[in-house]
Every structure is written in C-alpha cells, then in structure tokens.
A and B are shown apart, each in its own frame.
Chain A
Amino acid sequence: MTNGDELTGIPHKILEEASKAGIEAKEENRSGTFFHVDQSTIYTKINEIFKGKIELMDIKNALQKHPWLDDYMWKIVDKNKDEFTKKVAENFSGGYFMRILPGTEITFPLQSCLMITQTGIEQRVHNIIIAEENSKANIITSCIQHSAVEKASHLGISEIYVKKGGTLNFTMIHQWSENTLVRPRSAAQIDDNGFFISNYICLRPVRDVQMYPVAYCNGKDSRTSFNSILYGNKNSLLDIGSQAVLNGRGSKAEMISRAIAREGSRMIIRGMIEGNSTECKGHLECRGLLVDDDAFIQSIPELIARKKGVEITHEAAVGKISEKEITYLMTRKLSREQAVSLIIRGFMDVSIMGLPEPLNSEVKRTVEMTTQVS
C-alpha cells in the first residue's frame, strides 16, 4: 500500500477518469478521500479540518485496529448468499472503512474511488460504513473501469450502519465498460430516527450489472430513500432493484427510479417494500423512457403488508418518449434532436436525490456530459 501526501500524486490518467465520475481532485471540497485501484488501496486521506470527526482507512487496517468490527462484517449481507458473496468472503483485496463519529456533521462529502485499470481482473472489495449516533454525512463513491481496459469484473460488498438519529446520504456512481460484469451486494441497517439515502447513478454502457441492495429500517421512525438514475445504452443489461424492509414502528421508505433505455439495452427495474410494522409507510415510483425500438424496460414493483395500518403505494410508467413533448419543445424553436436531448436530461433530473451543493451541481454536470456525448 502506498499512501501519497497529495491526491495529485496519483497518476494523471487515473485522476482524469475519476473526475468524470464525481471525484474531486482538489481535496479542499471533500472531507476525505479513498482510492482503491485494482487489488490495492493506494490512497487514504482525511482533510485536516475533519480530523477527529471521521475515520477513513482500508478495511483490512480497520479490522486490525478495531477488533469490534468483526460484529459488523457479514452481519447484514449473508456471505453464503450467492457465488459472488462466497468469492469475496474467501478472498478480497480491501475496501473502505468509513466511520462518522457520534454527533458530528460532515459538511463536505467523503469521496471514494474503486477503479479497475488492468484487463481481466476480478476486483473484490468489502466496504463498511458506520454513521454513529446523531451524525450527518454525505458520501460519494465512484466505481470506475479505466477506458483502456477491455474486460473485467467487480464484486463489491457494502455493509452500512446508520445509528440512532444519524443521517447518511450515500451516492454511488458507476462508470464501467461494455465488457464489465458487476455484482455489488449491499445492505444497510437503520436505527431509531436514522435516515439512509441511497442514490445510484449508472450512465455508461456496461455488459451486465445486477444488484438489489436492501435497507432494514429496524428503528422506530427510521427512514430510507432509494433513488436511481439509469441510462442504458449499447446493449447494456441492467437488473437494478432495491428492497426496503420496514421493521420499525413508523418507519418509512421511498424509492424513485428513472430509467432511459436505447441502443439494444435491456433494463429490469425492481423494487420491493415490505411493511412489517404498524404505521409504516412506503412509496415506490418507477418511470422508464424508451428512446428507440431496440431497447427494453421491465418494471417489477412488489408491495408487501404484514400489519394493519401499513400503507404502501406505487406508481410505474414505462414507454416511449412522448411525441407531444418533443413537438411542444419544437414550437419553442428547438430541433428534434435538441428537444429529445432536453427531455432526456430533464428526465434524469438529479434534484430528486437531495444532494447538497456543490455535489448536486457536480453530479448534474456528470449526467449532462454523459447524455450529451451519446
């Protein structure tokens, strides 16, 4: 492991790729930075002003430093769940450990970048995040395959704990390539009055992503919110879902997915909200837009109620981009192409994610850049 003093010490080609997926090379706007490239963690740094408020290190170091972390490993993700979890349980190259200390509010986002730069490798990571009681933080994590790499796999386990009164806004940006197989396996556990927001953005083509993160709202009045912005192009297969298990009294879940499919991409958008306690509430919304006739979107919402007083709703709409909207914009002097691209960009409005500035503008810029190129 080589820990440089400055992020700018990392090879330029890596930084440049990372910057396309929300990683900020100037670290003054970040509370901490973590870089894991291929099979090793190459950089971890906490911004001076946040020292003593957060912990950030490679998970393997963290396991040595904090023996109690054993209680958090493989606790909410089952290591025997499937062949991918088994592989990571067998052997993994590292991952991040992030802990926001009790009562602290981290105004700048923590950033992490997991990157693949070698062809043919299978990157296996295990991440743990703990937002301690009454803490508040934003995390942006980018998983990237360098554009020069043809084929690779990424298996990532993430276990996230939001303690009593904590708020964690976790934004994941995926930028893979047309030959990458991606299998994240994530789970979160939320205690009393905790709030976990999971944002997922996938814009670049990918061979095959399949994920179904789950949030266990175990605490009283705990909340979770899943937002996804998915742009399927060039034969990508995206099977993306999320599950909220509402065990706590008065717990709440909200899921919003926006999916755009074109150029032979296939997208399956799943969502399950399970109400196991009285007074829990959930809402699921999925909107899918087909830009051409070669793509496919399937929306599979599932709502389960097990107690009287559970209130869970859903709305879903999938279909072709509206001709009426295109024509309307053309009456405002736009060409057809400009109108379509404006509708697509509008559809992928990142403001649904509730990101703080400047993160909101950065993510917005990333979405605009990607959708413009194609």
Chain B
Amino acid sequence: MSILQVKNLGVKIENKIILNNITFSLKGSESHILFGPNGSGKTTLVGALMGLPSYEVFSGKIFLMKKDVTSKSVEERANLGIALGFQNPPEITGIKLADMLKLCAGKNPKEDFSKEERELVEAFRLGDFLNRDINVGFSGGEKKRAEILQLIFLKPKLLLLDEPDSGVDVESLRLIANEIQRYVEKSGSTALIITHKGDVMEHVKAKYGCVLLNGALHCFTNPIRIYEEIKKVGYEECVACRKRNMEGW
C-alpha cells in the first residue's frame, strides 16, 4: 500500500522556485534513497513534506495514506504520522533529551520509560545524555543518534531522514541504519533517506533510489546502481544516461 503520494509538487523559498512538478509515491515496509548534489533541493523536499513554514508549496498535492495533507500544519502532519529527522537540529537550552523522548512517545514528563524504551535508549548509547539539554554540546554523531531515536519514539508512518549519516562514525552509522531498517520492517512504515554516501545502504535495505537535480526527480531505480554511477560520472551524466525521468516508483 502506498503511504506517501506526491503529485506535481512545486515548492518556493522566498519566492524562488526550488522544486517543480515533483511526482512520486512511497510504499510501506520499504526505504528509499534520495541523492542529489548540494543545493539541489533535497532538504526543501523533505521540509515541504513535513510542512515547515519556510517552504511554500505553490502547486501540487501531498497525500499521506490517501489523506490530503497539503494544507495541514506541521503539528497536524506530525500527529498523522510524518516525522522529520533534521540535518542540523537546534540546540535548546533547558529541554532535556529525556523530556523530548517522552514528548515523542506521548508520555507525561513524570512518567517513566517502559522497559522497551529504556532498552532502545541504551542501544542508541544515549543513557548518559537523558538529563542533558537537547543537542547542547552533543557531537555530530550524538545529535544524529538522538534525532533518530526521537523519530522511532514518535512511531511515524513516514520517516524523512535528512543526511542521517553525515558526521557519524562507522559504528554509530551501523547502529542508526540497522535501527531504521528494523523499525521500517516491523511497523510497515516507509523511510525517505537523503544521503551523499553509499555506506548507509549496507544496512538499510532500500529497493529504490532517485536523484534530485535541477528541481526535478530522475532515475527511479536500484540505489546502489545510482550511487556507483554518480561516483563514476557525476550527477549530470548519471541523469542524462537514464531516460527514466518522471516515471516514478
């Protein structure tokens, strides 16, 4: 069943068109990889799907589980099951990681974590960070671990992950990717993962990938093949060689 359907989406930032006529859909129990050079609009795409106010949708529609969410607020989309893992999450003084996790799990701040939740925290090696202000003084990898853990606590239908592998050490990457894979399989949800590197695909079993270039999506095919191609000939050549534009998954 399709979890996300995007039809002819156009997005502007401060009146400048970044994305135009984007169409694709994502099925459940699968992960999808989104490639694209810096500045191609990957972050804009996931931001617009989450409904962040800096991204203005000027055309098209977004459906989550067949429900039109195009004009829904960030909070409504979060409650309907869209979750975004930020590339650079903010540091917020006075709000503890434990508070954030409880918020995500829909718990009252005074409630304790369940045994399962506590095990997840430990698996993410964040037990010592629970009483620290969220992201304040966290290393790059610690921020990413905290971000993915929050997403799993949110139990979303659609995970949007903006470079979950940047600045992350090899061990943390394996951990993050394995947990994403486990969650997607178990929950029947779907993940859209933005990456510049191939390592994440060693642990996340993604059937499809695509390339975002010049405001449009291209090459809907096996992400490992796309990645190898990009490494060899670059984004422009990769997109030019395959005539799969606009086909979608």
Contact = CB atoms under 8 A, between A and B. Distances in A.
B246 interface: no
A325 interface: yes
Nearest to B83: A331
**Tier of interface size on chain B:** 20 to 34
14 contacts: A328-B89, A328-B90, A329-B103, A331-B74, A332-B103, A333-B104, A333-B106, A333-B154, A334-B75, A334-B103, A345-B94, A346-B92, A346-B94, A349-B93
A335 B79 CA distance: 10
Contacts of B53: 323, 327
B199 to A, nearest CB: 26
Contacts of B52: 327, 331
A240 B75 CA distance: 38
Interface string A212-251: 0000000000000000000000000000000000000000
B79 A342 contact: no
B86 to A, nearest CB: 7
Interface residues of A, number: 22
Interface of B: 50, 52-53, 73-75, 78-79, 83-84, 86, 89-90, 92-95, 100, 103-104, 106, 133, 150, 154
A348 interface: yes
Contacts, number: 58
A343 B95 contact: yes
Given A330-B78, A335-B75, A346 B154 contact: no
Contacts of A334: 75, 103
A331 B46 CA distance: 12
Residue from A322, A325, A333 whose CB has the most chain B CB atoms within 10 Å: A333
A287 to B, nearest CB: 8
Interface string A337-370: 0000011011111000000000000000000000
Contacts of A346: 92-95, 133
Nearest to A348: B94
Contacts of A342: 95
A336 interface: yes
